[in-house]
Structure 1
């Protein structure tokens, strides 16, 4: 698993080298496309994002590989998440499977959002599209104003509080695997995520056993200059869910 993660992260870093030259060509067209998909498939509920309706039937009529939707209020993060036949299928493709250097937000092949932790990848675009705004979480003020992440699947909606934020090398052990809830491996991972938090942990380490029954979603993007092996992780833990 760790080798697979490293491979995906390497390809993402290569794209990062060129995004400054190509991003501008796709800003308008991708913004229009993403807005159209959003208008077609979502029903707004600003007072209670957990009750937001995502029309997965419409989304799957466009592309059966749509497995989830992610939304961070107050940011541009409001996209479908795709899982292809290969781990890297959506590095360069949008929901219509058309080429775009922005790619899509995606998980590993076989990801079904039932594991304890789930990796979600996206490019760190200069235009702030995809996961381009995650870097803003390195500001504590931004974190306090945008600390909830919402994920939607056909089965349920989930509200996640940000558990931790940190930067890791692409070969870091934190990328070793996706584990089942409640396992020793998952508890060890949770402890690692909490202990490496950029911000005050507020005694979160005392709640690791309690957290072991809750899912974590690892949002991952490139960080730093050209060719850097560094990755920014924003890790959200489910604090509330609503069954569909």
Structure 2
């Protein structure tokens, strides 16, 4: 090959190795905060849950409240990574990019908006769609009908209470579409609530689900980003209806 050829050969190899290291460093820099956030949440689970059961995980609410008064509930979706505290700030989207301790985190927290309660006719719970399926990233598993058939329950925990929900509809929609309507206070004569429930079933684009909501039901929606294929304006939602509320003493 000759000395000049050897020189350029080794130079090319050196440049390629250096470029690969740079790309790896950039990928690590991007993913590390997300993985760190997930590990911190898993550590929190271990510290506050004394029993790993769906009906009552025996959460240490006093310990959680000492960490942050804005922790108002816990959500668990069997079959997914979703096993996280739910936060509620006094400002709109406060926990979009803050962790459960209130510090900056790109992955943010699972949260509900100010003024919302678990007694609302329609409650929306928000979370980011992370690449490693943390936060609400694993909601997209429900795009598969086979996955839904095995895992279609949502559990919400508050002090002395477990709210059990059954999923009845999953689809993509535009952000700020009718799906996100939560105020039905003017619904005296025009049946907006019934029309909205019907819409959530008709928009079920992935597969038919036999479970249908009734007018008396309360709806809890899990919302996250749809992903790059749909674009930034779309959201993926999982609608569920409350099937049971269990009250117990701590």
Fold shared, TM-score > 0.5 on shorter chain: yes
What SS class does the counterpart of residue 142 from structure 1 fall into?
Answer: helix
Partner of 1:190: 197
Q: In the comparison of the two structures, how many residue pairs are matched?
A: 217
Partner of 2:80: 75
Question: In the TM superposition, what whole-angstrom CA distance separates every residue of 1:19-62 from its partner, at most 9, and x where no partner exists?
Answer: x896502133212210121112223344xx11222222211111
Partner of 2:16: none
Aligned-residue Cα RMSD (Å) equals 2.2
- Give the stretch that moved more between structures: 227-236 or 94-103: 227-236
Deviation at 1:188, TM superposition (A): 2.5
Contact 1:122 1:131 in 2 (8 A): yes
Per the alignment, do residues 23 and 108 of structure 1 end up closer, same or farther by CA in structure 2, a change over 3 Å counting? farther
What SS class does the counterpart of residue 220 from structure 1 fall into?
Answer: strand
Deviation at 1:200, TM superposition (A): 1.4
Partner of 2:215: 212
Contact 1:220 1:233 in 2 (8 A): yes
Aligned counterparts of 1:212 and 1:67: Cα–Cα separation in 2: 27
Deviation at 1:240, TM superposition (A): 1.9
Structure 2: gaps spanning 5 or more residues: 1-26
Partner of 1:9: none
What SS class does the counterpart of residue 137 from structure 2 fall into?
Answer: coil
- Taking the TM superposition and a 5 Å limit, the aligned residue runs for 1:127-146 are 127-146=132-151
Deviation at 1:155, TM superposition (A): 4.5
Which has the higher relative contact order, 1 or 2, with Cα contacts under 8 A spaced 6 or more apart? 1
Partner of 1:37: 44
| TM-score, normalising length: structure 1 | 0.81
What SS class does the counterpart of residue 171 from structure 2 fall into?
Answer: strand
Give the ranges of 4+ consecutive aligned residues of structure 1 lying more than 3 Å apart after TM superposition: 20-23, 182-185
Contact 2:168 2:211 in 1 (8 A): no
* Equivalent position to 1:172, from 163, 171, 177: 177
Per the alignment, do residues 155 and 117 of structure 1 end up closer, same or farther by CA in structure 2, a change over 3 Å counting? farther
Partner of 1:15: none
* Equivalent position to 1:238, from 234, 238, 242: 242
- Give the stretch that moved more between structures: 184-193 or 108-117: 184-193
Contact 1:50 1:241 in 2 (8 A): no
Aligned counterparts of 1:192 and 1:162: Cα–Cα separation in 2: 15
Question: In the TM superposition, what whole-angstrom CA distance separates every residue of 1:142-180 from its partner, at most 9, and x where no partner exists?
Answer: 111211110112252011110100110113112122447
Per the alignment, do residues 156 and 188 of structure 1 end up closer, same or farther by CA in structure 2, a change over 3 Å counting? farther
Contact 1:118 1:178 in 2 (8 A): no
| TM-score, normalising length: structure 2 | 0.80
- Taking the TM superposition and a 5 Å limit, the aligned residue runs for 1:11-160 are 23-46=30-53, 49-160=54-165
